[in-house]
Structure 1
Amino acid sequence: MMKRNEFLKKSLLLGVTAGFANSGMAAMLNNPTAEKTFNLNYAPHAGMFENHAGKDFIDQIKFMHDQGFRSIEDNGMMGRSPADQTKIGETLARLGMTMGVFVVEKGGNSANTLAAGKKEYIDIFLKGCTEAVNVAKRVNAKWVTIVPGDYERNLQIGIQTGHVIEALRRGADILAPHNITMVLEPLSDSPNLFLQNADQTHLICKAVNSPACKILYDIYHMQRNEGHLIMTMDKCWDEIAYIQIGDNPGRKEPTTGEINYKNVLKHIYNKGYKGVLGMEHGNSIKGKDGELALLKAYREVDSFI
């Protein structure tokens, strides 16, 4: 006859095992890295895990959470319906996840350049900022991406810079009361783009002089434009509010290019960075194998402790 103590122990074990299965913990028992949060707050984007999670973005967010991610970003959030935005916001809140950046619509990265100082371009930008406030409230976003546009080649660089600063001050006045920060992103996509370097962006943020205007430091773009990643981040650190990731060349996940991401991420961690690191890159391999390779890469570069 089974003793009472043995019966209670076996019953408890069965109950715990069933609880693991029902809560999704069974996957964690089979895979020790599943549902383990990362040391830094990486943010995948829509489509990055659709081969495992399916086409529905809500299902993808749930899958991201199961893999240990605690943030997302979505450049095209302003193009989604208010109903979808609300659903995404509710899902993130329920899972305890953070909404990273989305892009303020102003006609594209190169279009309607603020450097020109033209009223019609500035009006488009300010309209985008106003609309972004409503979107941010639905998804509880605290950061929005701004790209000022191309150079205005018929104006001196100082005049162009003054135009950009003035426009951004007006945008910051719209966003600041709602605790939303526009993060300016210097890019490497085209030599025509006005904003290309971290020190240039740092100067503009100092001139705007608002908590609603800071730097988005995209490691991929800055490696292409200027290198010296750790040194440059240190010099501009007081104005950096958001970081994005992508290896170079190729703009794929870390470990696929030349950047020593484990070392760079360790430096960011040791500086006490608590913000989001957006995974603004593609997958180097297609299909489920590529998604698994991406997860493996992030576990590798995040193992700096």
Structure 2
Amino acid sequence: MQRRLFIKKSAAAVSFLGLGFTGINAINSPYKIQNTTMNSFKLNYAPHLGMFKNHAGDDPINQLNFMADQGFRAFEDNNMKNRSIKTQEKIAKTMLDRGMKMGVFVAHTIYWNEPTLTTGKIDIRDTFLKEIKESVEVAKRINARWITVVPGFVDLSLNMDFQTQNVIETLKHASAILEPHELTMVLEPLNFRNHAGMFLSRSPQAYQICKAVNSPSCKILFDIYHQQIQEGNLIPNIDSCWDEIAYLQIGDNPGRKEPTTGEINYNNIFKLIHSKGYKGILGMEHGNSIDGIEGELKVIEAYKISDNF
């Protein structure tokens, strides 16, 4: 994170990546990049706040401008709902000015160690639905179309089929709230290694639930990192779930860093997604494999390589 240590290395790396003189200027905070030659990505990859903070500084607007200058046409922020209305409005204006799309934000409180939607308890359902209603207002403010939903922990006192039905019923109620606003909650299956005990873990399970809810407001968030750990067989499973997938997220395995750092062949996966005519967003929900400016340049280069199909 100590930027001065990377100045000489990063200046050479900037030239190599084609970021030009303005990219070198970015080494000196605050953010100064303007008129940068954009990369031409085939898909809508969405960075998050903090991914390029060594170039752009801590200000979220400067970070968004840096993303746009590098050719990224989308942005996601899990924590958007917790940001001030003023910050939300500034982010929305900047995205509009720069022609960027808003990706997901987390729609509700996620309980990582206790059952929630799986229980079927009315008070828990009501609390969840209240948070969904609150998220509608945030989505309107920032021009978002997708919100992330995680059904929560398994209820060991209930048969899995009963839990599934409880989740389906709650999601039907949530869909009724979202449909008039043309918003979509995307259900995210999580892997057993990082999130042991979560109810939703497999893409076929998410597919079955979405079919049962039967609403344009309830679809799948296919996180490629999670599903590589949980089930592998990525391309066939993406194919099988395709008509219920509304959003994808990215992270290589092991390590949950940028593409090219692990075992996943993102070049082939992105090629498949592009071939299907996907116009949605792919959230870059991963860390940087190297700290500092050098690591941020490596992330940009990784997406140029993986998008080259």
TM above 0.5, yes or no, is yes
Contact 1:27 1:34 in 2 (8 A): no
1:220 matched residue in structure 2: 225
Structure 2 CA distance for aligned equivalents of residues 111 and 38 of structure 1: 41
Q: CA deviation at 1:36?
A: 2.4
Contact 2:115 2:154 in 1 (8 A): no
**2:99 aligned with 1:96:** yes
1:154 matched residue in structure 2: 157
Structure 2 CA distance for aligned equivalents of residues 58 and 187 of structure 1: 31
Q: Computing the radius of gyration over CA atoms, which structure comes out larger, 1 or 2? A: 1
Partner amino acid, structure 2, of 1:155:
L
Partner amino acid, structure 1, of 2:227:
M
Contact 2:110 2:150 in 1 (8 A): no
The partner residue of 1:209 within 205, 208, 214 is: 214
The partner residue of 1:200 within 200, 205, 212 is: 205
Partner amino acid, structure 2, of 1:258:
E
2:123 matched residue in structure 1: 120
2:291 matched residue in structure 1: 286
**Cα offsets for 1:40-59 (capped at 9, x unmatched):** 10000000000000000110
Q: CA deviation at 1:128?
A: 1.0
Contact 2:189 2:206 in 1 (8 A): yes
**2:71 aligned with 1:68:** yes
Structure 1 CA distance for aligned equivalents of residues 129 and 281 of structure 2: 25
Contact 1:245 1:279 in 2 (8 A): yes
Structure 2 CA distance for aligned equivalents of residues 34 and 48 of structure 1: 20
**2:129 aligned with 1:134:** no
> Which stretch of structure 1 is more off in the superposition, 183-192 or 105-114?
105-114
Partner amino acid, structure 1, of 2:241:
C
Partner amino acid, structure 1, of 2:166:
H
1:238 matched residue in structure 2: 243
2:33 matched residue in structure 1: none
Structure 2 CA distance for aligned equivalents of residues 111 and 176 of structure 1: 29
**Cα offsets for 1:227-282 (capped at 9, x unmatched):** 00000010110000000000000000000000011011111111111110000000
1:175 matched residue in structure 2: 178
Q: Structure 1 pair 254/184, CA: closer, same or farther in 2 (3 Å)?
A: same
Q: Runs of 4+ in structure 1 displaced over 6 angstroms? A: none
1:184 matched residue in structure 2: 187
1:17 matched residue in structure 2: none
1:22-37 equivalent positions in 2, closer than 5 A: 27=22, 34-37=37-40
Q: CA deviation at 1:37?
A: 2.8
Q: CA deviation at 1:207?
A: 0.4
Structure 2 CA distance for aligned equivalents of residues 107 and 276 of structure 1: 23
SS of equivalent to 1:277: strand
Gaps of 5+ in 2: 1-18, 24-35
Contact 1:109 1:147 in 2 (8 A): no
Q: CA deviation at 1:86?
A: 0.9
Structure 2 CA distance for aligned equivalents of residues 43 and 131 of structure 1: 24
SS of equivalent to 2:165: helix
1:9 matched residue in structure 2: none
SS of equivalent to 1:242: strand
Q: CA deviation at 1:191?
A: 2.5
Structure 2 CA distance for aligned equivalents of residues 190 and 42 of structure 1: 25
Gaps of 5+ in 1: 1-23
By relative contact order (CA 8 Å, sep 6+), the higher-ranking structure is 2
Q: CA deviation at 1:113?
A: 1.4
Q: CA deviation at 1:25?
A: 9.4
> Which stretch of structure 1 is more off in the superposition, 34-43 or 288-297?
34-43
Count of paired positions? 279
